[in-house]
Structure 1
Amino acid sequence: MIELFISAFVTLFVVIDPPGCAPIYASLTTGATHAQRRAMAVRAVGIAAAILLVFALWGKQLLGVLGIALDSFRIAGGIMLFIIAMDMVFEKRTQRREDRAHKIAETPEVEDVSVFPMAMPMIAGPGSIATVMLLMSQAEGIGERLVVVAAVVATLVLMLGSLLAAGPIMARLGSKIEAVITRLLGVLLAALAAQFVIDGLKASF
Structure 2
Amino acid sequence: MDLITEIAGFVGLTLVAVASITAVMNPASTTAVFTALTEGMTPDERRQVILTTVRISFIVLAFFALTGQLVFSIFNITVPAFQIAGGILLVTVATGMLGSRGESYQAGDLENIAIVPLAFPLSCGPGTITAVILLTSAGASSLIAVFLGIAVALVISYVGMLYGPRIFAFIGEGGLRVVPKLMAVIVLAIAIQFIISGIAEAMPQLLSNVDFGGDAGTE
TM superposition score normalised by structure 2: 0.59
Does residue 48 in structure 1 map to residue 53 in structure 2? yes
CA distance, structure 2, for counterparts of residue 185 and residue 121 of structure 1: 12
- 3-state secondary structure, aligned to 1:153: helix
**Are the counterparts in 2 of residues 86 and 190 from structure 1 also a CA contact under 8 Å?**
yes
| Matching of residues 63-102 of structure 1 within 5 Å | 64=70, 67-69=74-76, 72-84=77-89, 86=91, 91-95=94-98, 98=100, 102=103
1:135 to 115, 118, 131: 131
Amino acid at match of 2:118: I
What's the CA shift for 1:49? 0.9
CA distance, structure 2, for counterparts of residue 122 and residue 190 of structure 1: 14
| Matching of residues 107-126 of structure 1 within 5 Å | 110=106, 112=107, 115-125=110-120
Amino acid at match of 1:135: A
Bigger drift between 178-187 and 155-164 goes to 178-187
What's the CA shift for 1:54? 0.6
1:159-183 superposed Cα distances (whole Å, 9 cap, x missing partner): 2222466655562634345534543
**Structure 1: gaps (5+ residues):** 30-36
Task: Return the structure number with greater relative CO, CA threshold 8 A, min gap 6.
Answer: 1
Ranges of 4+ aligned residues in structure 1 off by more than 6 Å: 200-205
Count of matched residue positions in the alignment of Structure 1 and Structure 2: 182
Q: How many percent of aligned residue pairs carry the same amino acid?
A: 9
What's the CA shift for 1:78? 0.8
**Structure 2: gaps (5+ residues):** 1-15, 137-141, 209-219
TM superposition score normalised by structure 1: 0.62
Does residue 18 in structure 1 map to residue 13 in structure 2? no
**Are the counterparts in 1 of residues 83 and 198 from structure 2 also a CA contact under 8 Å?**
yes
Max radius of gyration: which structure? 2
CA distance, structure 2, for counterparts of residue 170 and residue 85 of structure 1: 27
What's the CA shift for 1:200? 6.4
1:110-162 superposed Cα distances (whole Å, 9 cap, x missing partner): 5x578534433342245644434233123242334532442233123212222
